[in-house]
Structure 1
Amino acid sequence: MEILSWSVFLVAVPAVIFAGVSKGGFGSGAAFASASILALVIPPGAALGLMLPLLMLIDVTSLRAYWRRWDWQAGRVLLLGAVPGTLAGAAFYAAASPDAIRLLIGIVSVSFVAWQVARSRGWIRFAEWRPGRTTGTVAGVVVGFTSFVSHAGGPAAAVYLLGRGLSKTAYQATTVLVFWAVNLLKSLFYAGMDIFSTETLLLAAALAPFALLGTWIGIRAHTRVSERLFFGVTYTLLTLTGIRLIWVALT
């Protein structure tokens, strides 16, 4: 399917709005669903290249709303680990086939839902566990790697930040800060590895207003919309999308 087509645009609009809502108001963890959805209709590398400029735009827009409300100590630990994680992600991407990328995105999508379900049912508890610097650094490595190859660094960040007992707003602000920095680093590698293309950049420019709209909605929904409702819809989308990507990659 051609990237610059109305069919791709119509799929991309709700996906981009969703990314803005997720990153702007619900901790960034599920924003990678947008790349997963796009990977169903365009090559996974193109989906990653299309989404990164939009995610960076959402980051900058969200950053002001949560300025200095983050936990800098926790964010710094994640960022220190994210640098080598990003390097590892770039090395994997350079060696992997498109189907390997699809498979990884699909596995991450389904695993994210499984992890969230386990946490919500009490199978995974944070109240009795406070992760230290080593755990945070390892989580940062996973953040950098998964963010590079699937824009899915949120789950690893959540394990560390939620384990530290951050408030809802401090958690949101810290993820905004961390992923603003990680995405800035990724953009240098994406440019050098030709993950960006003229077509993806043109489409990203056309989708920018929808990214801003989603961010605006997300920031206002942060204290007004039930997380249970938002993530219920998200988990359904991720499960279906992840299974489909795994099936396509393996067949």
Structure 2
Amino acid sequence: MDVTTLALIAFVVVLIGISKSAFAGALGVFAVPLLMLKLPASQAIALMLPLLIIGDILSVKSFWRKWDNRLLLPLIPGAIMGVIVAYLIIDVINPHYLRLIIATICIVFALKNILFKQTRLTFLSNKVGAVIMSMFSGITSSLVHAGGPPIIIYFTAIGLSPSKFVATAAIFFAMMNMLKLIAAISFGLLPSATILTALLFFPLAIIGNCVGVKINTTIDKQVFLKLMNYLLLLLGCWLLIR
């Protein structure tokens, strides 16, 4: 790898570290397109998984046991169902249309929260909403590597505090990404050289994690939720124009 490629990977690693520990991975959707500036698509996608898992490990450690078990438990079966559904429909669904659906939902939800703050989406604030959004996350994560927006929408709708928001998202995505890692290794989709490359950037992931934790622990709850809405709007627009 040339110096430019190494610098780009280093930037992405720090970005993932900050994103995971400050904003529940909201910026992660930009990582693969950035890697693809210098790497082939297949290599960028393969490298992304171990980088995400490194970010997950550090975030879980930083917010250990600060997650909400009552919120987490309904998310797990939903995510498993989503991954299964994704593999059942992978040959018939058009990823372009799925990305368009995610983008539209992100934009509509974000604009609703920004412009009509008093309107509550009560149908999301229960276990049924948790299962639906986590299943949607499992599907979008498996098919278009965009599992973050559905969970971010759900957590924003119920108004979690910054630390509980990030902690619960961290343990949720850590579980899902570990399942994806086992599957990728089993099918020979993740070469050992790719895993080694990710591990070499581990010190930079720690730096990103420390910066993210500092942001998360000092930010006001209302400012955090407002920021998450603007990030969702940005994510929606990004997915729309990709």
TM-score range, shorter chain: 0.7 to 0.9
**Map of 1:213 onto structure 2:** 207
How far the C-alpha of 1:32 sits from its partner, in A, is 2.5
**Map of 1:248 onto structure 2:** none
Q: Using the alignment, how far apart are the partners of 1:222 and 1:73 within structure 2? A: 22
How far the C-alpha of 1:222 sits from its partner, in A, is 1.0
Cα displacement string for residues 76-98 of structure 1 (whole angstroms, at most 9, x for unaligned residues): 111111012122334556x49xx
Q: Using the alignment, how far apart are the partners of 1:14 and 1:112 within structure 2? A: 29
**Map of 2:128 onto structure 1:** 134
Task: Report the aligned-residue RMSD.
Answer: 3.3
Does the C-alpha gap of structure 1 residues 207 and 31 become closer, same or farther in structure 2, counting only changes over 3 Å? same
Give the conservation status (yes or no) of the 8 Å contact 1:15–1:37.
Answer: yes
**Map of 2:6 onto structure 1:** 9
Q: Using the alignment, how far apart are the partners of 1:128 and 1:188 within structure 2? A: 36
Structure 2's unaligned 5+ residue stretches are none
Does the C-alpha gap of structure 1 residues 62 and 9 become closer, same or farther in structure 2, counting only changes over 3 Å? same
The residue identity in structure 2 corresponding to 1:133 is K
Residues 77-116 of structure 1 aligned to structure 2 (within 5 Å): 77-91=74-88, 95=91, 103=96, 107=100, 110-111=103-104, 114-115=107-108
Which of 65, 71, 75 is the matching residue for 2:72? Answer: 75
Which of 159, 166, 175 is the matching residue for 1:165? Answer: 159
Number of equivalent positions: 237
Residues 217-228 of structure 1 aligned to structure 2 (within 5 Å): 217-224=211-218, 227=224
Give the conservation status (yes or no) of the 8 Å contact 1:35–1:150.
Answer: no
Q: Using the alignment, how far apart are the partners of 2:189 and 2:105 within structure 1? A: 25
How far the C-alpha of 1:207 sits from its partner, in A, is 2.4
Which of 17, 35, 39 is the matching residue for 1:20? Answer: 17
How far the C-alpha of 1:202 sits from its partner, in A, is 3.5
**Map of 2:188 onto structure 1:** 194
Task: Establish whether residue 32 from structure 1 lines up as the match of residue 25 from structure 2.
Answer: no
**Map of 2:41 onto structure 1:** 44
Does the C-alpha gap of structure 1 residues 64 and 199 become closer, same or farther in structure 2, counting only changes over 3 Å? closer
How far the C-alpha of 1:181 sits from its partner, in A, is 0.8
Q: Using the alignment, how far apart are the partners of 2:201 and 2:144 within structure 1? A: 19
Which of 139, 144, 147 is the matching residue for 1:153? Answer: 147
Q: Using the alignment, how far apart are the partners of 2:81 and 2:240 within structure 1? A: 26
List structure 1 segments (4+ residues) > 6 angstroms apart after TM superposition: 228-235
Give the conservation status (yes or no) of the 8 Å contact 2:17–2:55.
Answer: yes
The residue identity in structure 2 corresponding to 1:21 is I
Q: Which one is further off, 132-141 or 228-237?
A: 228-237
1:183 match: secondary structure = helix
Does the C-alpha gap of structure 1 residues 122 and 239 become closer, same or farther in structure 2, counting only changes over 3 Å? closer
Report % sequence identity.
Answer: 23
2:115 match: secondary structure = coil
Q: Using the alignment, how far apart are the partners of 2:101 and 2:211 within structure 1? A: 26
1:51 match: secondary structure = helix
TM-score (norm 1): 0.77
Q: Which one is further off, 25-34 or 106-115?
A: 106-115
How far the C-alpha of 1:112 sits from its partner, in A, is 7.1
Q: Using the alignment, how far apart are the partners of 1:73 and 1:180 within structure 2? A: 17
**Map of 2:171 onto structure 1:** 177
How far the C-alpha of 1:63 sits from its partner, in A, is 1.1
Structure 1's unaligned 5+ residue stretches are 246-251
Give the conservation status (yes or no) of the 8 Å contact 1:48–1:195.
Answer: no
Q: Using the alignment, how far apart are the partners of 1:124 and 1:45 within structure 2? A: 41
2:26 match: secondary structure = coil
Q: Using the alignment, how far apart are the partners of 1:230 and 1:46 within structure 2? A: 30
Give the conservation status (yes or no) of the 8 Å contact 1:49–1:200.
Answer: yes
